[in-house]
Amino acid sequence: MTETYVIPDPRKTLKNLLSTEVYDGFASALDDREAKGETVQSSFIGIDKSDIIAAEMRDTDALVTIRVVSQLISATRDKDGNVVDGDPEAVVEVKDVWTFSRDTRSRDPNWRLVATESED
């Protein structure tokens, strides 16, 4: 059984989790999709492997870069429900590199996503 989760306001959720630069990229993609009347249907299957590939301090900011290999089903549909990208039935291996940052002086324990890159 597949569960469907709808994030009511993804911009609000993302704003606190992403750096300004990464947020702007995500928001721009959401705006573009909404203008076209497109929706994305994604099912996260799982993570096959994750490795820390870099860690460093820049002044008081700790940065950790992680390579993640995951399994995902994803399809983009147009306003009429037709698939315009991806495949709603196919599991695809996705290789991403994500960098997270946290100000070590902050009382906030959360890390922010500051860079993303696809290896595919």
Question: What is the token pair recorded at 36?
Answer: 């076209």
Query: Which residues, in sequence order, are CB contacts of 94 under 8 Å at separation 6+?
Result: 68, 69, 70, 71, 72, 118, 120
pTM metric for this prediction: 0.82
> Which parts of the chain sit beneath pLDDT 70?
1-8, 120
pLDDT of 5 reads 60
pLDDT of 1 reads 47
Beta strands in 1-120, from DSSP E residues, in sequence order = 39-58, 61-77, 83-103, 112-118
Residue 109: DSSP 8-state: -
Closest CA to 25 of 35, 37, 15, 36: 15
pLDDT of 119 reads 82
pLDDT of 85 reads 95
Q: How many CB atoms lie within 10 A of CB 120?
A: 7
pLDDT of 3 reads 58
In degrees rounded to 5, what are phi and psi of residue 112? -110, 140
